Amino acid sequence: MKSIARSAFFAVLMLLGSTAAMADEALLKPFVLASKGPGTLVEKVAAVKASLLANGFTVAGEYSPYPDADILVVTSDELKNNAAQSEHGGFGAIQRIALTKVNDDIQVSYTNPVYMANVYRMKGDLQDVAARLQAALGKLEDFGAKGMTANAARHYHYMFGMEYFTDPSMLAVYGTHQEALDAVEKGLASNKTGISKVYRVDIPGTEESVFGVGMKAPSDAQKYMDDKYIMGEIDFRDIKSTAHLPYEVLVSGNKVYALYARFRIAIDFPDLSMMGSHSFMNIMSTPEAIRKALQQAVAKPLPGA
């Protein structure tokens, strides 16, 4: 009996120790609020660009998805080299910086590199990139979710039956890598479906390139794929998650992929409720609307189309 009691005692101690370790493990959140304060978008964008360049980042693209919002997409040798070591690592080859006018303040925020490295299952955790972004832009707080451990982020999906990182949509297949790249470039340049190119980053030593795309619905009937409409439904908190945009298209070998929206939106808004106001229910048609619009933009037209 004494032996059983001792075993039970030590089992309880181990359980308590494990629980304490989990409590001490940092919880990762999707975004970092760098600063907020008065000023104009034009002035702030110029200052942010200069600071990013001074800290080793390259601006790959810039766009304004809607009024009072400007987004810079950056990359670096470290980001691209880390991407080259992971399957579909191109999704993590960039970081997004958003400047959003909210009332009289400009909020400067950016994607959390460590969070993104984990949700995209990358080899490196991008701690150094996070430190350089903080040096360039500052850091007031992490935000965007209650937070999750690195392990939970690496295995994240919104709920049972929904997509993981390993379940992207295949949008098109071509004969060669170059043919796939040419088709995507041509499709995004035409902008026939409201999908336009924001940036392109090629991953060194691989047949992989990531494109950022802006999404603007050609008509109200197609609003569910529209950046402004989607963000108007889900980005409702005081601190804005504008750095969720833009969406990505990945050319890997001769195939063209996009993360399915039930994963891609959920990783940036993991605490969004399923039902009610400002919920996933309000954009229920969005995942398929995005997939179809992207596919139409990058797929080879059928004969006679």
The one-letter amino acid at 89: G
pLDDT (0 to 100) of residue 278: 81
The one-letter amino acid at 194: G
Higher pLDDT, 298 or 6: 298
Are the C-beta atoms of residues 100 and 107 closer than 8 Å to each other? Answer: yes
| Element at 124 (helix H, strand E) | none
| pLDDT tier, 277 (very low <50, low <70, confident <90, very high otherwise) | confident
The pLDDT tens digits for 53-94 are 999 999 999 999 999 999 999 999 999 999 999 999 999 999
- What is the C-alpha to C-alpha distance for residues 186 and 213, in angstroms, rounded to an integer? 13
| pLDDT tier, 18 (very low <50, low <70, confident <90, very high otherwise) | very low
- What is the C-alpha to C-alpha distance for residues 227 and 104, in angstroms, rounded to an integer? 23
Tell me which residue has tokens 């999906």: 157
Residue 205: CA atoms inside 13 Å, Cβ hemisphere, count? 10
**β-bridge mates for residue 138, sequence order:** none
In this predicted structure, the answer to whether residue 44 has a pLDDT above a threshold of 80 is yes
Higher pLDDT, 45 or 17: 45
What Cα–Cα distance (Å) separates residue 244 from each residue in 98, 214, 256, 277?
Answer: 9, 12, 21, 20
User: In a 10 Å sphere around its CB, with 0-12 CB exposed, 13-18 middle and 19+ buried, how is residue 3 labelled?
Assistant: exposed
- What is the C-alpha to C-alpha distance for residues 19 and 256, in angstroms, rounded to an integer? 42
Residues 6+ apart with CB under 8 A from 179: 254
Residues 6+ apart with CB under 8 A from 210: 83, 90, 91, 93, 94, 200, 201, 203, 248, 249, 250, 251
pLDDT (0 to 100) of residue 5: 44
Answer whether 0.85 is exceeded by the pTM. Answer: yes
| pLDDT tier, 207 (very low <50, low <70, confident <90, very high otherwise) | very high
pLDDT (0 to 100) of residue 25: 67
The pLDDT tens digits for 212-249 are 999 999 999 999 999 999 999 999 999 999 999 999 99
- What is the C-alpha to C-alpha distance for residues 268 and 105, in angstroms, rounded to an integer? 23
User: In a 10 Å sphere around its CB, with 0-12 CB exposed, 13-18 middle and 19+ buried, how is residue 289 labelled?
Assistant: buried
Are the C-beta atoms of residues 251 and 203 closer than 8 Å to each other? Answer: no
The pLDDT tens digits for 110-168 are 999 999 999 999 999 999 999 999 999 999 999 999 999 999 999 999 999 999 999 99
**β-bridge mates for residue 44, sequence order:** none
In this predicted structure, the answer to whether residue 6 has a pLDDT above a threshold of 80 is no
- What is the C-alpha to C-alpha distance for residues 247 and 99, in angstroms, rounded to an integer? 17
Residues 6+ apart with CB under 8 A from 180: 172, 173, 174, 251, 253, 254, 255, 256
| pLDDT tier, 251 (very low <50, low <70, confident <90, very high otherwise) | very high
**β-bridge mates for residue 250, sequence order:** 210, 257
In this predicted structure, the answer to whether residue 19 has a pLDDT above a threshold of 90 is no
Question: Helix-strand-coil percent breakdown of the chain, rounded to 5?
Answer: 40, 25, 35
pLDDT (0 to 100) of residue 276: 81
Domains and CATH numbers, the chain: 27-298 (3.30.310.70)
pLDDT (0 to 100) of residue 295: 97
The pLDDT tens digits for 167-201 are 999 999 999 999 999 999 999 999 888 999 999 99
Are the C-beta atoms of residues 60 and 200 closer than 8 Å to each other? Answer: yes
pLDDT (0 to 100) of residue 165: 97
